[in-house]
Amino acid sequence: MGQATRLRQLMEQGLVLAPGVYNALFAKAVESTGFDAVYVTGFGSAARYGYPDVGLITQTEMAQNLRYICRATNLPVVADADTGYGNIINVRRTVREYERAGVAGFHIEDQVFPKKCGFMEGKAVIPLEEHVQKVKAALDARTDPDTVIIARTDALAPNGWEDALARARAYREAGADLIFVDGIRTLEELDIYSKELALQGVPCLYNGGLVTAEEAQRKGFKIQILAGLALAAVFKSATAAMQELKASGTTRQTVAQFGPPGEGETVNDILGVPEVYELEQRYDVKKEGAR
Amino acid sequence: MTGSRATLRAAMADGMVLAPFVYDGFTAMIAAGQGAQAVYMTGHGTSAQIGLPDVGLTSMAEMVANLGYIVNAVDVPVIADADTGYGNAINAQRTVHEYETAGAAAMHLEDQIFPKRCGFFEGKEVIPMEEHVQKIRAALDARSDPDLVIIARTDAVAPNGWEDAIRRAEAYRAAGADLVFVDGIKTLDDLDTYTTRLVEQDIPSLYNGQLQPVQEVASRGFKVMITGGGHALSYAAVRQALLDLKEGGGIGEPRDTERFNATTSLLGLPEIYELEKQYAVDNA
């Protein structure tokens, strides 16, 4: 079964909780800690390359990272496709590249190109009708009909709820599998999102951790992503390590604080070093019979 | 920044350069943001973030791509892992060209067989000393910027013992390597041997590890120390956040605006807003 089909099955069973990561190592950690799906954040992907999330990262770089991630995990991957990196022609190519990379679903948003992170100031959106066409183009470009196309609207911050709801309904009407209203900052906003869309039969994705997955499911959501999970953990731990190194010349306390992973869970275990040693024996790679 | 090669050389002449492990642009920016005077691009971490173990599967092109992002992300010198040079002396020369073009300030080439493996893994093997001397010569000849620091690494301690490792380090230095790097230092005894037999014999040396705090390693006379943080810590932190999420039934941490702003500032968002004004970029 393809990953897109798997993702659809999971959504039928209940809410899919997908922690946000931005590299293959962290995707493996999501799988090994027992989650059902991986979310790949554009914000984190941009940070990985050393840039803020303002549309500087190319489709090529996103797709390359996704290829590594999809190869590294057996879980369905939900990915950020930003604006589709241009107009409907670019969207078509994005769909093909993302499908080829192995993603199960991805979201395309109605911001102007170049875009900004959903929680940043200064967002602007393209006309509703134009994004409807982009959603239709994305649906038409699929080679796997199960690929989950998620239409995201960023209209809440610049235009308010009325426009955001009109857009969400129009994108669903155009055939989007899922709707994603981004920039939800408060429980009140989450309740509007829930009452006006998620509980009205519009399949919706929620980005945030204001409520538990159980609660998000009661509110009618199909997918919950925590886009910033890995990036926040790395920011906190790496900053602490660098501060400790500066202050005392070691990183021991910081390392101890995050705890050594248990048996079978170290970086080398999870990356498959034991399997490499097995393969070396099987194919007689090491003359000296290492280990 | 290629200008940082002179900076790195000046800093090494002054004392010991501390270069924390980084594996992507973000961790490089965190290190530099906390005042690191140089950063070290780990091959182990570069491999890990694309899902591969550090056993010579990651290609030179993939290493160079990551190096380019890290160089662009920070203003401090980048010391880069170049593994075996990805083949023989000819490959090593192309590796030097590519790393130099990408903006590395320093790079290390090791005497393991190809494909290599992490310096702390079991089952390492080394090529003959004479062959690596030729690779070091080839690397030095391939520089177009004479300030690019070429570091010769030996992995001989684990398979062959200290006497061979010392002989190799001396030969690589005699061949012209700017620095030597004996990897796989696991005990304080090893570190003492490294210090007395090489560092104190005026062989400029690099130490990889955390057996002692920075100040003590510096007082031994090392020129460069690479240590700390890196992908193993990030992995542990991400894993911990995932386990917390599981335990909390799916609830994340509350939105932390302060951290969000600290993160976006580190990544240069305020400068982007400035540029938008400066060039009258109209978002609407």
What's the pLDDT tens digit per position in B108-148? 999 999 888 888 888 889 999 999 999 999 999 999 999 99
What are the pLDDT digits (tens) for A146-196? 999 999 999 999 999 999 999 999 999 999 999 999 999 999 999 999 999
Q: For an interface test with A, which of B1, B29, B41, B50 has the most A Cβ atoms less than 10 Å from its Cβ? A: B50
Instruction: Summarize the confidence of residues B147-154 as an average pLDDT.
Output: 98
ipTM: 0.93
Give the pLDDT confidence score for residue A284 in this predicted structure. 86
User: Which percentage of chain A shows pLDDT scores above 90?
Assistant: 89
User: Are B233 and A254 in contact (CB < 8 Å)?
Assistant: yes
Q: Which two three-digit tokens encode residue A247?
A: 């202050």
Of A47, A259, A277, the CB nearest to B26: A47
Whether A250 and B214 lie within 8 Å, measured CB to CB? yes
A52 interaction partners in chain B (CB closer than 8 Å): 264, 267-269, 272
Q: Using a cut of 0.90, tell me whether the model's pTM lies above it.
A: yes
pLDDT tens column, B37-77? 999 999 999 999 999 999 999 999 999 999 999 999 999 99
Report the 3 state secondary structure along B255-279. CCHHHHHHHHHHCCHHHHHHHHHHC
Among candidates B69, B235, B243 on the partner chain, residue whose Cβ is nearest the Cβ of A49? B69
CA angle centred on B48, ends B43 and B52, rounded to 5°: 100
pLDDT range class, residue A259, cuts 50, 70, 90:
confident
Query: Chain A interface, mutation test: which of B238, B265, B274, B276, most A Cβ atoms within 10 Å?
Result: B238
* A71 contact partners, CB below 8 Å, separation of at least 6: A24, A102, B51
Tell me the per-residue pLDDT of A89-128, one tens digit each, with 9 for 90 and over: 999 999 999 999 999 999 999 999 999 888 888 889 999 9
Can you give the pLDDT at residue A235? 96
Cβ contact B55–A273 (<8 Å): yes
C-alpha–C-alpha distance, residues A195 and A289, integer Å: 64
Q: Where are the alpha helices (DSSP H) in chain A?
A: 3-13, 24-32, 42-48, 59-72, 88-101, 128-141, 156-159, 161-173, 187-196, 213-218, 229-248, 252-258, 267-270, 273-282
SS3 A180: strand
The whole-number pLDDT of residue B248 equals: 77
Q: Rounded distance, CA A180 to CA B96, Å?
A: 47
Q: Give the residue-averaged pLDDT of A30-48.
A: 97
Are A48 and B25 spatial neighbours (Cβ–Cβ below 8 Å)? yes
Which chain A residue lies closest to B29 (C-alpha atoms)?
A: A50
Q: What are phi and psi of A223, to 5 degrees?
A: -135, 140
Q: What pLDDT is attached to residue A261?
A: 72
CB-CB neighbors (< 8 A) of B268 in chain A: 51-52
pLDDT at residue B121, rounded to an integer? 82
What is the percent of chain A where pLDDT is above 70? 97
Which of chain B's residues have a Cβ under 8 Å away from the Cβ of A30?
A: 242
A153, A165, A219: which is closest to A190 by C-alpha?
A219
Lowest-pLDDT range of A19-28, A84-93, A120-129: A120-129
Residue A175 CB contacts under 8 Å (≥ 6 apart), including other chains: A135, A136, A139, A149
**Residue contacts between A and B (CB atoms, under 8 Å):** 254
Report the pLDDT averaged over residues B81-94: 97
With CA atoms as reference, the chain A residue closest to B27 would be A238
Structure confidence by residue, pLDDT tens digits, B165-223: 999 999 999 999 999 999 999 999 999 999 999 999 999 999 999 999 999 999 999 99
Q: What is the DSSP string of A244-273?
A: HHHHHS--HHHHHHH----TT-SHHHHTTH
Among all residues of chain B, which has the CA nearest to that of A208?
B252
Indicate whether B149 pLDDT > 70: yes
CA B248 from chain centre, in angstroms, equals 37
* Higher per-residue confidence, B141 vs B258: B141
Considering only the beta carbons, identify the residue of A49, A50, A267 that sits closest to B232: A267
- Cβ within 8 Å, pair A27-B242: no
pLDDT score for A1? 87
Nearest CA in chain B to A183: B255
* Interchain CB distance below 8 Å, A72 and B35: no
Query: Which residue, among A189, A258, A283, would best test binding to B if mutated, counting the most B CBs under 10 Å from its CB?
Result: A258
Chain B interface includes A252 (CB < 8 A): yes
User: Could you read off the pLDDT of B157-179 as tens digits, one per residue?
Assistant: 999 999 999 999 999 999 999 99
